[in-house]
Chains A and B, each alone.
Chain A
Amino acid sequence: MGERDKHPSRTAETDRTSSTSRRTFLKGIAGAGAAISLGSKVAWANGEIGFWAKDLTAEQLIHMYTTIQRIRWYERTMVDKMLTEPNYRGYNHFYAGQEAVATGVSAALKNTGGIMEADLVYSTHRPSGHAIAKGVDVRKMAAEYDFRATGLNKGYGGEMHIADKSVGFMGADGMIGPGPVIATGSAFAIRARGSKQVVVNYGGDGTYATPHFHSTLNNATLLKLPFIYVLENNLYHQYAHYSYSTPMKDIATAAKTYGISGVVVDGQDVFQVYNAAKEAVERARAGEGPTLIEAKTYRYYNHWGAPGAKPGELGAFGYDPLAITSFRPEREVRAWMARDPVDISRNALISWKVLDRAKADAIEAAAKKEMIEAFAWADKQPMAKPEDGLKNVFVEGTVPPRQFG
């Protein structure tokens, strides 16, 4: 708890601008007696303190903690597999360290009902946490990460392209730039058809530099789209510190330019993330437009794969040959690991008497077992058939082979 208090989420100055428009909006619909959620400043004025986790049931809180553990052990199981099984073909851009972000966001979303009902999530090249938190089947995910025919996407996509629209997980994306623009297209469709869905786009600190970032926020603002940009600032895009990408320390400050709500949140604390996400989601559902949430977080592994990691140990340290000119100081990694999202959520739930130590341990053990079994299941799945590579180019038929002349 104390750790968390040192890093409270804070609302960027920009909220002042948007709260004015929210008040105007509220005035407009007040007469209709509509029950709506409140943005942080208005809520504050009404006696709300913005700590929404106080309203969550024990079941919901335990689900959040369980999700964090499931993501953590998906990652740790896979790291160990990569390190100890030379023939294992899967790879990952590990999400470990950032679990509280995806978990806190998904806890505020509707995660069932397919693309016409669920809230939609657009992910990145670091998708496992986003996917698990959204409810994607981990066995099929593990099989996809090893390109199996029965994997989530039949072996066509691998880690960087997992997608499962049945839970509103619109997919990972290996590129930096286009994703959020596409996500606003989904938000536009939702607004046009009048459904109550919202769209969340995850992006990293590196996305700020792309033209797409600005196109996304500009159009989302102009059209008041039900859209939330969750920017996970883990300080590095690939191997470069985010100071190479943006002149701002807090990227959420960019929200000011667009006159929308911009929030900086402690991404290691799932409840702080949930608070911010819940407000953003309800703002979007009420037709009040987009939010930019910047979650300050950190990845425990290097950009890609497991260089610097050891079997059975959390985190990767030291020289990454791919980094060449810039790599992360070990002390920085360890300082962030001292504020671990697993520990923060666990300690909170124990102090709230939602869990006792034994129950918390049992949840972790179950998550670990589930993931070991998921990867073991994946190992037994069939490989893809070579000629199936000619399928799924168009909805119908196959394309001709051309490699034989």
Chain B
Amino acid sequence: MARKSFMYSVLEAVQYEMRQDKNMIWIFELTPPVASTPGKPVINLETEFGRKRVVNTGIDENWMAGCVLGAGLAGSKAVTYIPYQGNCMCFQMLQNHAGKLRSMTGGDAGMPVVFILEMTGQTPGFAGQHSDYEIDTYYAHIPGLKTVIPSNPTDAKGMMVSAIRDPNPVVFLWADALRTLIEDVPDEQFTTPLDKAAVRTTGSDITVVGSGGGMPEVLKATEQLQKAGMKVETIDLRSLKPMDTETLVKSVQKTKRLLTVDQSYYTLCPGAEVIARVAENVEGARYKRVAFPDAPPPASPEMFLWMRPNADHIVGAAKKLVG
């Protein structure tokens, strides 16, 4: 156990798997697979495994995604880290190929690959392209891809191990806002399921559901609401596809109130799917959605920070729903 960042935790998981499997490859551009943490060795996949297996490509996300897909089809495990600037440039490779090939070949195609798709850190001042948060919706919609979104370094490590070992193509959404989180993460290799939501707090007044980069604000709001006496059951989705309907339904059967929180745009945000699934299974519950408006994020911090869902927004919405 040691204090580790999101990046360190994930690279530790990958390093272990690459040491076990000499065929496994890692493709990156611009973001070197390098991480350090006090008291632990520096991890550098490029120097450890060499440029035959670990490649810094030119700026071409289409190729990066296609490369790992092709490697997978040829029987090698493969992971690519696509930075947020290119996280939709590779859309076709995932939507029309990785997601459909197994079905179209009647089960013949094997794709033991992981697409790490970085999302922006939602930093104020960066405008539309560099502070959006939207691809959770896009990628979760694609059949044939497992789409997960860990919200802390521990889950990131366990879910990366599971993703690499999973025989299906996995989209591993990497919310860059979480890069500053540091926590104790086990040194040994462990797995975390790719189809289970995590119940972060238990309560009977309201269910609050969030995911990924939104979780720090959700947890902050939960604490504030608990201090104000509200019994909050907070759920971290972790996996968007498959979605853990059972955990969601069980919770709302108890609380009868469901608040979803998304950094993604309102229309078709993951919370919309959560509410739909719960509504099909629970009688007499009430619902609310907090989400980013259906607008590209403007650069101006005054506009952007007002629009980006935060703990205050969540607390306000929860009180409206419970009060």
Residues of A near any B CB (own CB < 8 A): 89, 91, 147, 149, 155-158, 160-161, 174-177, 206-211, 237-240, 244-246, 324-326, 383-390, 393, 399-405
Contacts and interface: CB of A to CB of B under 8 A. Distances in A.
Contact of A211 (B60, B265, B301, B302): B60
A147 B292 contact: no
Among B29, B289, B291, residue most surrounded by chain A Cβ atoms (within 10 Å): B29
- Summarize A's interface: helix, strand, loop or mixed: loop
A89 B321 CA distance: 37
A399 B304 CA distance: 14
Given A240-B56, A402-B292, 15 more contacts: A155-B299, A156-B299, A161-B129, A161-B299, A176-B86, A177-B86, A209-B57, A383-B300, A384-B300, A386-B302, A386-B303, A389-B295, A402-B266, A405-B290, A405-B313
A211 B85 CA distance: 15
B221 to A, nearest CB: 11
Given A89-B125, A155-B299, A399-B294, A405 B59 contact: no
A58 to B, nearest CB: 41
Given A160-B130, A161-B127, A383-B300, A402 B85 contact: no
A267 to B, nearest CB: 20
Contacts of A390: 293, 295, 307
Nearest to B267: A402
B124 to A, nearest CB: 8
A324 B32 contact: yes
B59 A402 contact: no
A284 to B, nearest CB: 27
Interface string B286-323: 00111111111111111111111110011011001100
Interface residues of B, number: 54
Contacts of B126: 158, 160, 174
Nearest to A325: B32
A244 B51 CA distance: 12
A244 B303 CA distance: 39
B58 interface: yes
Contact of A403 (B59, B128, B309): B309
A156 B128 CA distance: 8
Contacts of A207: 59
24 contacts: A149-B300, A155-B298, A158-B300, A160-B127, A174-B126, A174-B128, A175-B85, A211-B60, A237-B30, A237-B59, A244-B57, A324-B34, A325-B46, A384-B302, A387-B306, A389-B293, A389-B295, A399-B295, A402-B291, A402-B293, A403-B290, A404-B290, A405-B289, A405-B316
B313 A403 contact: yes
A210 B56 contact: no
B30 A238 contact: yes
A324 B11 CA distance: 15
B15 interface: no
A149 B303 CA distance: 10
B85 A157 contact: no
Contacts of A239: 30
Nearest to A240: B56
Contacts of B294: 393, 399-400, 402
A325 B34 contact: yes
Instruction: Pick the most buried of B89, B298, B306, B317: most chain A CB atoms within 10 A of its CB.
Output: B298
Interface string B40-71: 00001010000000001111101100000000
Nearest to B29: A240
Contacts of A157: 127-128, 299
A155 B57 contact: no
A401 B317 CA distance: 13
A211 B299 contact: no
B295 A177 contact: no
A244 B58 contact: yes
Nearest to A153: B299
B307 A389 contact: yes
Contacts of B297: 389
A400 to B, nearest CB: 7
A405 B130 CA distance: 25
Contact of A174 (B59, B127, B301): B127
A402 B265 CA distance: 9
A184 B59 CA distance: 20
Nearest to B263: A403
B214 to A, nearest CB: 11
B259 interface: yes
Contacts of A403: 290-293, 306-310, 313
Nearest to B318: A405
A202 B29 CA distance: 21
Nearest to B294: A399
A211 B62 contact: yes
A334 B236 CA distance: 51
Contacts of B300: 147, 149, 155-156, 158, 383-384, 389
A381 to B, nearest CB: 12
A147 B266 contact: no
Contacts of A160: 126-127, 129-130
Given A155-B303, A389-B295, A389-B303, A404 B59 contact: no
A161 B297 CA distance: 12
A51 to B, nearest CB: 35
A158 B299 contact: yes
A161 B126 CA distance: 9
A208 B127 contact: no
A393 B130 contact: no
Contacts of A388: 298, 303
Nearest to B89: A177
Contact of A209 (B59, B291, B309): B59
Contacts of A383: 300, 302
A208 B58 contact: yes
A140 B242 CA distance: 49
Contacts of A155: 298-300, 302-303
